[in-house]
Amino acid sequence: MASDGSPSQDSQKKKKKSSRKGKGEDVKDKEVQVEGQVERLTACGHSALQQGDSSKALEYFKKAFKMAVNLKETKVQRACAFNLGAAYVEAGKPQKGLDFLSQAESSERGERVADLQFNLAAAHEALDDHVQAVRRYQQAAQLYRSQGDGSSEGDTCIRLAHCHLRRKEWTDAAENYLRAAESYKVAGKLASAAVALKDAGNHMLKCDCFSADDVISVLTECLELSAKITEPETLGKLYNSVGLSFSQLKLFPEAAECYELALPLVRSTPRRLAVVMQNLGAVHNSLAQYRKALEYHREAAALHGSLGSRRAQGCCFCNLAYALSELGQLEEAGESYLHAQQAFKDSDDSSGHWQACEGLGGIKMRLRDPDKAILYYKQALALLSKCKDVASSVQESLVNKLSEALQMKLAIQQTGPPARQAIRERNLNRQHPRIAQMRNTEDMMAEHRRKEPLNSHRVEDKERRPTETCGQRKPHGDMIISSRATQTEHPDYLNALPEANRNLNNTYAKPGVEYKNPTDSHFVSQQDEAMCETSRQNPLEITSAPPLEESTEALPPAHLLSEESTSIHRNLKSRFCTVM
């Protein structure tokens, strides 16, 4: 049979099969190419993140996600949604980040589930939804532990602690810092463990459920692990913070030792040096080592002044005035209180201002000048009325002192003008009563009175615990909790320190901080405009400013928004993953 020249049926089928096969291979090749481009864009995004360019990284992740949408492979799509969501959280757009991260969720429990929970928690935290953030962080921490990833578990516990701090749940925060420290130790990150223990001890002091021995044990272990910290800045912050905690526990020799260790580590940074100097002076006041404290007070005041930190400078002048008054140098003490008064006035700090006025009133009482004492006590009461959350005992104390000044004025008026003049002259250079009591015999006291010239007394610095007198003042400070406000039963270390001073500073820049550490002296914390600079609390009643402070050293990928606020407002860094 002759052929008609048309292709056979079998050959046509073969051509169709080969055509379909060719198209399938083309599609597969295109998907492979797209996946390759997605991987390259993702790698570029990670590279941009490492260089600190989050906006550029965001653009790369956006392109990768758009290309992945056209792929049939849902796992790649979820990975791209994961990265894009994390990038949005990193860029300060948590709601958009949350939307994309939700797309990355799957019923499957893959190796990236823990990181996804972490990122979802970071987004909720940035949106101030701390309940959801805590739930997600807890899930992430448990997953990291099941994977044996101690480092990531520690990072997550630090973030959990921050969420609890925002909700003022001090016990939960302290427990999470302790868990973070244990996780870091398992992972071999001993420096991070030391920082976590420092923060744990700091917040344990705010809880009734921890004993003083518990806190001391944590702080001791923190100091032991601090040998693993190689960065001077971090180590200086740690010593300063631990010193503040020891001060609150009234372990002043240990506190002084910590500040001494911090001193050489911060000398290259004037602001931090001022903070440590201020704290050293304050702790020497508490140890009644007044002459030794003078140098630190003066240097700290000069440094704060050169840096424009008027409020902190005012605290140093108050500490200096207190030390001078204890040494019987009343005229100089009065001048220092005047400097403090002006500094607090310049910084619009009513809390510090009224305390400076109270100190001036006490000096005038000891100089038997009731008229000026009355004036200063009235000013202190007027300023006190502008302060919030003031314990009633504070106002009662000032009223009692004003009453004493009025009684003294009445008594002097009844003695007549000549007698009043004689009293003023006799008391112009009158020594502090407690210093006179240090003399061993009446003969020595008599000899001292015979030789007593105007403005010539020099009093030996004695180790003694000051007792309360009518004009005695407590220095103020940053990050110290006032004892005056403490009226309920608490562990002894929750009560204010003796009246030596209340100007401990736990901040390296601004004395105002978000989370403050209760302590008694004018000590500086890091809740500073720097180190411990954080959200403010009323510096009244021995309180001072301290942040979360200082908890930044152990932070995981989540960074504080600025070192200036140990406030826990920060950029929330997220976890990223590779596509394939």
Q: How far apart are CA 112 and CA 105, in angstroms?
A: 10
Average pLDDT over residues 99-114: 74
Q: Which residue has the higher pLDDT, 433 or 503?
A: 503
- Distance, in Å, from the CA atom of 315 to the CA atom of 529, rounded to the nearest integer, reads 16
Q: Provide the pLDDT for residue 285.
A: 97
Residue 412, pLDDT > 50, answer yes
Domains belonging to the chain, first-starting first, are: 31-105 (1.25.40.10), 230-348 (1.25.40.10), 360-415 (no CATH)
pLDDT at 30: 73
Per-residue pLDDT, 464: 37
In angstroms, the CA 387 to CA 395 distance is 11
Average pLDDT, stretch 13-18? 54
pLDDT of res. 406:
95
Dump pLDDT digits (tens) for 281-304. Answer: 999 999 999 999 999 999 999 999
What is the percentage of the chain residues whose pLDDT exceeds 90? 52
Residue-wise pLDDT for 190-233, tens only, equals: 999 999 999 999 999 999 899 999 999 999 999 999 999 999 99
Residue 277 CA to residue 33 CA, distance in Å, equals: 63
Task: Give the contacts of 373 (CB within 8 A, at least 6 positions apart).
Answer: 361, 362, 364, 365, 401, 405, 408
* For residue 523, pLDDT beyond 80: no
Q: How far is CA 375 from CA 320, 358, 403, 408, in A?
A: 22, 10, 12, 14
Confidence (pLDDT) at 425: 58
Q: In Å, how far are 100, 101, 123 from 85, measured between CA atoms?
A: 5, 5, 9
